[in-house]
Structure 1
Amino acid sequence: MTMAKKLVIIDTDCGIDDAQAIMMALAAPNIQILGITCVFGNAAVENVCQNVLRVLSVCEQEGIPVFRGSGGPLLGDSNSCSDHFGSDGLGDVLEDRDPQWEEKIQREHAVNAMIRLVSENQNQVSLVALGPLTNLALAVRLDPCFPQKLKDLYIMGGNMEGKGNVTICAEFNFATDPESAYIVLEEFLCPTYLASWEYSCRNALTWEFFEELINQDAPAARFMKTITSKCWAYSKEAMMNKRDVYFGPGFVSYDAYAMAACINGSVVTESIECPVRVELQGTMCRGMMALDRTNALKKSHSVFVLSKCDVAKFGQLLMESLRQPRNK
């Protein structure tokens, strides 16, 4: 008997690490991607849509539907896109953009598609959120029952110890739309797994591994080598004064950690089960995630904050992800 595949929706602001995570899901034999929903973040949502289409094309998986979603946060400035992965989200090295890309995007809005796909497959869909949580917050506002129809939720975002990567105390995805992060972590009562910034950084791989990863002989590996070639976020030297200050040297593909947890739960070896809350106030702490390990908030709902990872298994999933397409 063949095992039933795990049904997955990927919500993404497709930068380089999102591309890596999507390819990890495409390579996983136990995963069926129902759709990919796009949100602003690493780039404007129009670039995000094009980036997703490019990844699917490289992996020869263009049958997966792609939906355009939110172009800005629930509140405030929508011009907060990061240049972490270049202005286009994929390292500013790809010149042959598809002029017909909009025709390949579904007409249905990402949030409506998310609600529909989950309603059609109740309690069977794992949602993997790799960008700001705006689409998810809108989904629960349009359909308050949406979270209880999910099987589970995997989020790359937030932080455990008040260490930030875009502000002193907040991680990028949560800092970009704190209200949406707050809504999701208060109202999504399905099993929720959080791959925080610190979790990703503490379970880094070596830069030697990264070289081996991108120098494999396959189209996906060559694509990854190209898009990381001029990106400071994939430079060992550039990271010395940023991430390395907190965590020491290492290669980190942030979004891939959330995806790996979804694909194979045994990749996660330790987690902290506790309530959490996103801070919405303050000049330094807005967007920070607080862990309530003493139940001070008296919340009824806990989440799993991932803390330790089987780095060997994770590395194997990364290696497999760049050996695509399969028929080559």
Structure 2
Amino acid sequence: MERRKVIIDCDPGIDDSLAIMLALKSEEIEVIGITIVCGNAPVEMGFGNAKKVLRQMGRLDVPIFVGEKRPVRREYVNALDTHGEDGLGESYLSEVDGYEQQMDAVDFMASVLKAEKVSVIALGPMTNLAVLIDRAMDAFLNIEELVSMGGTFKSHGNCSPVAEYNYWCDPDAAALVYDTMYENGKKIHMIGLDVTRKIVLTPTILEYICRLNPETGDFIRKITKFYFDFHWQWEHIIGCVINDPLTVAYFIDRNICQGFDSYVQIETQGISLGQSVVDSMNFYRKEANAKVMTEVDVLRFFRLFLSRILDVKPEELDILQDII
């Protein structure tokens, strides 16, 4: 099997951590680096959280690069109200010392992408990618495939009535990335709230995880408890939506999500700040710059996700169809 090289650009974050776990356990992917951007947590906190996840996975060999500390233009607003004051569900796991890199995230991306085509799985705001466009456009255009957890089509927003957090946090960056994709005849894969909202880690699934792999289950329980409480308080969901692992799962298995090609523009001002405006009716008569996901096979996702992170065979997970 040929492994696809990827850079994971993220803002850990609870669901980012679960996504990293899935990527590191998947033979189809070779994670050559993790780049951190301000988003769910400030970059230094995100750097620390990424190290905690790599320690849990026994993969501190994967380099982590600290990226942009603030959005391109607007004031930075973190999401610690959602992810806890330590950015990792107030699990307060012990810190991992060291592992600082000599170059920043954008320089790392530029150096890698100038040398070869590598895909980017973007799980946070697109600030690092926007700076890459300004600093090294040739490197950005050499991204083999760009898959983004962000935006929404018909589903409501999660930080405003119309906006998803990653694009709302830095709308100018997201707008630049989408516009650049359009101008160069490329498409971004948009894994938005329309599909990620259907991926809910319930108490029953969490208990199942703990039964199958107590060590991994204990780690996931620690980092998601705060997330469970937040989702109940704000959305009356018994469980928590885990957005980012779906993005990694889609990168591995394209049959997990389905959607359509469309031109997408990101709003950068006013009450619709951060909204992903999807021209599904082709009013603008512009070539598509995105593949917008609208349908997801929830069972297929959980079979892949759990079999990988728990080290069990998919056929051993037959009970899933009864508990999802």
How high is the TM-score relative to the length of structure 1? 0.88
Instruction: State the alpha-carbon separation in 2 of the partners of residues 282 and 162 from structure 1.
Output: 20
Match 2:288 to one of 294, 301, 312: 301
- Partner residue, 1:260: 249
**1:89-168 matches, cutoff 5 A:** 89-98=87-96, 100=97, 103-122=98-117, 125-161=118-154, 163-168=156-161
* Distance in 1 of aligned mates of 2:201 and 2:18: 14
* Deviations 1:9-63, CA, capped at 9 Å, x for gaps: 1000011100000000011011100100001111110010011111111100111
For residue 201 of structure 1, what is the amino acid of its counterpart?
A: R
User: Do the aligned partners of residues 310 and 219 (structure 1) sit closer, same or farther apart at CA in structure 2, a change above 3 Å counting?
Assistant: same
Going from structure 1 to structure 2, the CA distance change for 1:106 and 1:218 (only over 3 Å counts) comes to farther
From the superposition, tell whether residues 319 and 162 of structure 1 become closer, same or farther in structure 2 (CA, over 3 Å).
closer
Aligned twin of 1:19: 17
The amino acid that maps onto 1:295 is N
Which position in structure 2 is the counterpart of 1:234? 228
Separation in structure 2 between the aligned mates of residue 214 and residue 17 of structure 1, nearest angstrom: 18
Q: Distance in 1 between matches of 2:202 and 2:82?
A: 20
Segment drifting more, 61-70 vs 206-215: 206-215
Are 1:39 and 1:70, in contact at CA under 8 Å, matched by a contact in 2?
yes
User: Identity rate of aligned residues, in percent?
Assistant: 29
Aligned partner letter, 1:315: F
Equivalences, count: 309
Q: State the TM-score, normalizing by the size of structure 2.
A: 0.89
Distance of 2:87 and 2:201 partners within structure 1: 22
- Aligned-residue offset at 1:273: 1.1
Question: Partner of 1:271 in structure 2?
Answer: 259
In structure 2, C-alpha distance between the alignment counterparts of 1:187 and 1:316, rounded to whole Å:
36
Q: Distance in 2 between matches of 1:250 and 1:190?
A: 36
Q: Following the alignment from structure 1 to structure 2, what is the Cα–Cα distance between the partners of residues 216 and 73?
A: 41
The one-letter code sitting in structure 2 at the alignment partner of 1:277 is Q
Separation (CA, whole Å) in 1 of partners of 2:104 and 2:211: 37
Give the corresponding residue for 2:270.
282
1:218, distance to aligned residue in structure 2 (A)? 4.6
Corresponding residue of 2:314 = none
Structure 1 residues 220 and 205: alpha-carbon distance in aligned structure 2, compared to 1, 3 A threshold: closer
Report the 3-state secondary structure (helix = DSSP H, G, I; strand = E; otherwise coil) of the residue aligned with 1:89.
coil
Greater relative CO (CA pairs within 8 A, separation 6+) = 1
**Structure 1 residue corresponding to 2:186, chosen from 184, 187, 190:** 190
Alpha carbon RMSD of aligned pairs, Å? 2.1
2:152 is paired with a residue of what secondary structure?
Answer: coil
